[in-house]
Amino acid sequence: MEANNQLSILKNLKSDFPASIVVFLVAVPLCLGIALASGAPLFSGIIAGIVGGIVVGSLSGSPLGVSGPAAGLAVIVLTAIQDLGAFEIFLLAVVIAGIIQFILGVLQAGIIGYYFPSSVIKGMLAGIGVIIFLKQIPHAFGYDKDYEGSFAFNQPDGHNTISELWHMFEAVTPGAIVVTTVSLFILILWEQKFMKKFTLTKFIQGPLVAVIVGIILSISFAGTSLALAPEHLVAIPVADSLSGFFSQFTFPDFSQIANPKVYTVAMTLAVVASLETLLCLEATDKLDPLKRVSPANKELRAQGIGNLVSGLIGGLPVTQVIVRSSTNIQSGGKTKMSAILHGFILLFCAMAIPFILNMIPLACLAAILFVVGYKLAKPVLFKQMYRQGWSSFVPFMVTILGIVFTDLLVGIGIGMVVAIMYILYNNYKIPFLFEKDEHLPAVDTIRLELSEDVTFLNKANIQRALNEIPADTTVIIDASKTINMDVDVVEIIEDFMIHAKTLNIDVQLIERKRKGKSVSQAKVFQDVLKQYRREVLDRKEVLN
């Protein structure tokens, strides 16, 4: 079944290779920005990007997911490095976290990702789209105080996502605005239908053209009033030689293997990274035009090996990340080869031509991310969710607002709470089918049809319905479809059956079939009630 989930890698290279270049262009500033925010060496972010592409991409069963350093882990990493006292000790925690993740995959823990409602997953995608758009506006104007890849509302520069939009006017760079405008024009032009007719546009993606033009503009602006400063450009570490390149790799301090703090950090990283990966995996599958379903447990094992390797050679922890994954999908990627190739391109460029990467204006990359953000949060998505009703639309909107005004995982958590509240409310509201106006007082026979799952949350409604039944009537309680019923509800029905005799109410219970045999529902109620009373007596004996 897993093999059928994949398209041929070789046959889709013409789609995957151009997509890998675009993913690579987006990944470079994100890797560097997240490393900066994590208080780690800048090159550790590049290492994580390379490992996420080559190692995780090769082992993953996700056809379109792209892994790398995650913004959601930046605060955890920053705090962990400070608490452990050295980056080398932190790397040991990353190695152990990878082992824990692999074990979670073996234990089939990937099923957790399937428990998140679709409304929350779609809210996550739209929320990330909104936050990408808002975070890139300052970079488009040449205000680069906050690092690339930041998703948190409160920023390291003391501002937040909203206030940054005002502070950026303090340092507007005209050259950056020109680069952004030209880049956006190219990107929008490349999306037009008439452009698809040209052979060139099928092999060369619009973002690559935008980056090349951005570099040319940056060079031509030198010495003029439009000149871009170094902080407006990508800043990847440059090694003098091949040996200098490999000297940037760092190795974990295994002498701290008995340090309990290392295991605390490792467990935290493993749990948070696994959760973020599973959420992104689910979201990426929803974006996949072919609607393929990725094996979650295999993904956890791949991520575990990826973190093991990343930690061993000096990289940040990796997860599957939605920005790169959605960029991959929007750029026409078809198989996981695009993720693998982006890792190799990142390795080659970091090793051989970092000086060329350092010519790329951040404003140009901001234009690319504008398009990515817009496609994730298209207005049509909001209309679709609204048409589905409040039970989908409210968790969707709450998730978006939570992500924008807190951070990714907190926003998803808030959305989940609201979604669960709606589920509980609907369960509380509809425990049975009973039309009051239809049955009372016009007819002598009243039918109460219980739902599949009747819990203690339904006690009040069921009790109210039974209290409204008049004397001298017949009541049919249909529990033929009920699978689970709490003893609280059983007690209410048993008490009603006793009290009904005094009101001349004839109570009939529909039989339920179990494994081909017809079993009296009354007998089921009585058995459950006996068990309940037995447990009460047992507890009293223990207390005495």
Q: What is the pLDDT of residues 281-291, one digit of tens each?
A: 999 998 999 88
C-beta separation of 289 from 329 below 8 A = yes
Q: Is the pLDDT of residue 266 over 90?
A: yes
Q: Which residue has the higher pLDDT, 430 or 508?
A: 508
Residue 538 is predicted with a pLDDT of: 53
- Picking from 137, 207, 125, 140, the residue whose alpha carbon sits closest to that of residue 375 is 125
The continuous run of DSSP H or E covering 43 comes out as helix 42-51
Predicted pLDDT of residue 438 = 44
CA distance 324 to 169: 29
Closest CA relative to residue 341, chosen from 13, 69, 59, 4 = 13
Exposed, middle or buried, 61 (CB in 10 Å: 0-12/13-18/19+)?
buried
Plot region of 176 (φ>0 → left; ψ -120 to 50 → alpha; else → beta): alpha
Kindly state the average pLDDT of the residues 399-412: 92
Q: Give me the phi and psi of 239, to 5 degrees please.
A: -95, 145
Residue 3: is its pLDDT beyond 50?
Answer: no
Instruction: Assign 518 a pLDDT band (cuts: 50, 70, 90).
Output: very low
CB 279 within 8 A of CB 296: no
Mean pLDDT for 64-90 is 93
Task: Give SS3 for 393.
Answer: helix
Q: Which amino acid is at 444?
A: D
Query: Could you tell me the fold of the domain covering 432-543?
Result: Transcription Regulator spoIIAA (3.30.750)
pLDDT per residue over 383-403, tens digit each? 999 998 898 899 999 999 999
Quick check: 516 pLDDT over 60?
A: no
Out of 395-409, 423-437, 456-470, 506-520, give the one with best mean pLDDT. 395-409
Of 106, 97, 53, residue with least CA distance to 339: 53
Q: Going by C-beta distance under 8 Å and a sequence separation of 6 or more, which residues neighbour residue 497?
A: 507, 522
Q: How confident is the model at residue 106 (pLDDT cuts 50, 70, 90)?
A: very high
Q: Is it the case that residue 358 has pLDDT exceeding 50?
A: yes
Residues 339 and 95: beta-carbon distance below 8 Å: no
Task: Say whether pLDDT at 241 is over 90.
Answer: no
Cβ contacts of residue 149 below 8 Å, gap of 6+?
A: 29, 30, 31, 33, 34, 37, 69, 71, 74, 323
Q: Residue 101: what pLDDT?
A: 98
- For the segment 60-78, the average pLDDT, to the nearest whole number, is 92
> Phi, psi (5° rounding) for residue 355?
-65, -30
Helix then strand count (H, E) for the chain reads 24, 10
Q: Is the pLDDT of residue 273 over 90?
A: yes
How far apart CA 505 and CA 48 sit, in angstroms, is: 72
- In the predicted model, what is the mean pLDDT of residues 273-287? 93
The domain limits of the chain are 3-379, 432-543
Q: State the Rg of the chain over Cα.
A: 29
Strand order in the sheet with 432-433: 432-433, 445-450, 474-478, 506-509
300-306 mean pLDDT: 98
pLDDT of residue 533: 54
Length of the chain equals 544
Confidence of residue 543 (pLDDT cuts 50, 70, 90): very low
What is the pLDDT confidence band of residue 514, given thresholds at 50, 70 and 90? low
- Cα(88)–Cα(258) distance, rounded to whole angstroms? 14
Q: What's the mean pLDDT in 95-124?
A: 92
- Count CB neighbours of 375 within 10 A: 17
Q: What is the pLDDT of residue 517?
A: 46
Show the tokens assigned to 248: 């940037």
Mean local confidence (pLDDT), 224-231: 94
Q: What is the pLDDT of residue 439?
A: 45
Who wins on pLDDT, 446 or 121?
Answer: 121
pLDDT of res. 330: 93
Q: Mean pLDDT, to the nearest integer, of 20-27?
A: 95
Q: How confident is the model at residue 519 (pLDDT cuts 50, 70, 90)?
A: very low
- Report, as an integer, the average pLDDT of 505-529: 60
pLDDT value of residue 1 = 37
Q: What is the mean pLDDT of residues 3-12?
A: 69
Secondary structure E strands in 407-458: 432-433, 445-450, 453-454
Closest C-alpha among 527, 523, 64, 521 to residue 322: 64
Sequence-ordered list of residues with C-beta below 8 angstroms from that of 98, at least 6 positions apart, any chain: 270, 303, 304, 305, 306, 307, 308, 309, 310, 311
Percentage of the chain exceeding pLDDT 90: 59
Q: What pLDDT does residue 242 have?
A: 82
For residue 531, pLDDT over 90 is answered with no
**CA nearest to 206, candidates 15, 11, 338, 19:** 19
What is the reported pLDDT for 212?
Answer: 95
- Among 20-34, 78-92, 97-111, 417-431, the range scoring the smallest mean pLDDT is 417-431
Compute φ and ψ for 358, nearest 5 degrees. -75, 0
The residue assigned the tokens 């390379």 is 50
Compute the distance between CA of residue 217 and CA of residue 224 in angstroms, rounded to an integer: 11
- The answer to whether 56 and 48 are in contact (CB under 8 A) is no
From residue 502, how far is each of 53, 489, 507 by CA, in Å?
74, 21, 12
SS3 433: strand
Q: Is the pLDDT of residue 526 over 60?
A: no
- What separation in angstroms does the CA of 376 have from each of 71, 117, 122, 133, 326? 18, 18, 9, 10, 8
Query: What's the whole-number average pLDDT of the chain?
Result: 86
Mean pLDDT of 268-279: 95
Q: How confident is the model at residue 435 (pLDDT cuts 50, 70, 90)?
A: very low
pLDDT classification of 528: cutoffs 50, 70, 90: low
Burial of 360 (0-12, 13-18, 19+ CB in 10 A): buried
